[in-house]
Each structure stands twice: as structure tokens, then as C-alpha cells.
Amino acid sequence: MTAPATPSIATPTQDRARAGAPAKIVVRGVSKVFQRKMDELEALAGIDLDVQAGEFVCLLGPSGCGKSTLLNIVGGFENQTQGIVHVDGEPVTGPDPRRVFVFQEYGIFPWASVWDNIALGLRGRPKDEVARITQHYLELVGLKGFEKSFPEELSGGMRQRVAVARALAVSPDIVLMDEPLGALDSLTRLQMRGEILRLWQREKMTILFVTHDVDESVQLADRVVVMSPRPGRIAEIVPVNLPHPRDIGSPEYGRIKNRLYELLGVSHAI
């Protein structure tokens, strides 16, 4: 049995990393302490992570281990308490249109049509350019014919496609996905994983993808960053050296999955 079909590729990002190319995202010694009313909460401690250009990295870990916090810091929406975060060799000082977010379910505006939702980030550009780009991403995520529909008329999976199309329409370098498939049923999730892989292979952006689903991480990632709570630390970074589409029945796939469960402290034999 195989995961949803996507063109077969090797793992070029890992080759690039081996060739010593500078990392796209560099996180060094990052910690985060939230000040609360009565006390403080250490959410992240000593995070070191390099992400190569074009790499697909999953952040995997239990609820509360700091996955969203780390994503927000890389996105420039949250300041780290200590450490450095560089993107393309420059310190991250705030949000940047080259880095976009896709969230679990709040990503699209209910009052705007599919077309307007996708075109939202393109305001200020020439009309024909906006139309061309919007059409391209509408088709890429399989929503042709639904451009005039409103979110309430769409299924959950279709809404997430709109969110993905809107994120990609601005040609981001980096896409930060915070459990983008978390609200979907299991079949739609599987289909959407295949679609996200297809888009990634086509558009070649760098993806940081938060999930607490072990299968999702093994199906998608070049590397899985396993985090432990609290404060959130990196327990281990597990490479997935398997070409797409991944054979989920292969011994190597099973070995990686078991290792991830082990790291998460769950005894699980597949």
C-alpha cells in the first residue's frame, strides 16, 4: 500500500545540505519564556535547528511542547527570549511577506468568495497579474468552478485548499503550516497530504509543518523534528530518506514510525 501518488523524487534538499549549502533557516540556542500574571512559563529551551532551502521539515510533539511557539518565532510573530533566528542570513525581526502561515482552520475569510480569498495577498498589483496568479493557484488546488463560492458552501478540505492557495499565491519562500490538516476527516487528510506534497515539489518552497500525527510526519517530511515538553526541547531529528510516493508498508517506513513513537514515549508496534 502506498501513500497518495506524487511524482517520485529523491531528497535533493538533503544532498544540498551535505554539499554544505548555507541553511535557509538557522535557529540557534533559542529559548522562550512567557510572562504570565503570577509567574512565567518556559515554553522552549535550547532549540538548535537548520532548515535547508526547499526542505520539508515536520515539527512533531505532544500538545504544549512549543511547536506553535517555535513556528511563530521563525515567522517573526513572536520574539525569542534568547538565541538567534536567521532566514537567508538575516535576523528575523518581524513578519515578512516571504514567509506565510497556514493555520488549522481560521485561515480564510467567510465574507469573501474563494477567488477573493486567494487574491487577498495580491492587493496593489496590476489587475491582470492578480487575475493570472489567482487563476493559477485556483486550478493548482483543484477548485476551478468554485471561484464564486463562499467558504460556508465548501467542505472542510476545500476550505483548507483555499487557505493553501492563498498562502502560495504570494510566492512565499517559506510556508509555515500549523496543523493545517488537523480539522479534516482522515480520508480528506490523506488526499490533502498528497496535494501539499505535489505543490511543494512543484513550487520548491521551504516548509515547516507542525503536526502531532506520526503518520503524517513520516509521509511528508525530509526530516522529523521530535520535540519533548516542557520546556520544549528537540529530543531528536529523524531523517526520512524515502522517495515519494512513500511505501507505508515498507520495513524502513515502519522502523521510522516506531522510532518516532519511541521518542514520544508511546509504545506502539505497527
Q: Compare residues 68 and 219 and give the one whose CB is closer to Mg ion.
A: 68
For the bound state, the minimum distance from the C-beta of residue 212 to Mg ion, rounded and expressed in Å, comes to 9
By CB under 6 A, residue 34 contacts ligand ATP: yes
Give the integer Cα–Cα distance in Å for 119 and 167. 10
Q: Which of residues 57-96 bind Mg ion (CB under 5 A)?
A: 68
Backbone angles phi, psi at 32, to 5 degrees: -140, 125
Quick one: which of 104, 119, 109 has its CA closest to 151? 109
- Given the rule CB under 6 A, which of 14-22, 64-72, 87-95, 134-142 is the region that contacts ligand ATP? 64-72
Q: Compare residues 68 and 206 and give the one whose CB is closer to Mg ion.
A: 68
Q: Compare residues 36 and 127 and give the one whose CB is closer to ligand ATP.
A: 36
DSSP 248: T
Cell of 180: 493545517
- Given the rule CB under 6 A, which of 35-43, 131-139, 158-166, 259-267 is the region that contacts ligand ATP? 35-43
By CB under 6 A, residue 41 contacts ligand ATP: yes
By CB under 6 A, residue 80 contacts ligand ATP: no
By CB under 6 A, residue 67 contacts ligand ATP: yes
Residue nearest Mg ion by beta-carbon distance:
68
Residue 212 interface partner, choices Mg ion, ligand ATP, none, CB cut-off 5-8 Å depending on type: ligand ATP
By CB under 5 A, residue 134 contacts Mg ion: no
For the bound state, the minimum distance from the C-beta of residue 224 to Mg ion, rounded and expressed in Å, comes to 16
Cell of 25: 533557516
Write the single-letter amino acid at 220: L
Residue 219 interface partner, choices ligand ATP, Mg ion, none, CB cut-off 5-8 Å depending on type: none
Interface with Mg ion (CB under 5 A), residue total 1
Q: Which of residues 154-213 bind ligand ATP (CB under 6 A)?
A: 212
- Asked whether 9 and 245 are in contact (CB, 8 A), the reply is no
- Given the rule CB under 6 A, which of 18-26, 59-67, 95-103, 166-174 is the region that contacts ligand ATP? 59-67
Q: Which residues bind Mg ion (CB under 5 A)?
A: 68
Positions touching ligand ATP (CB under 6 A) are 34, 36, 41, 43, 61, 63-69, 212
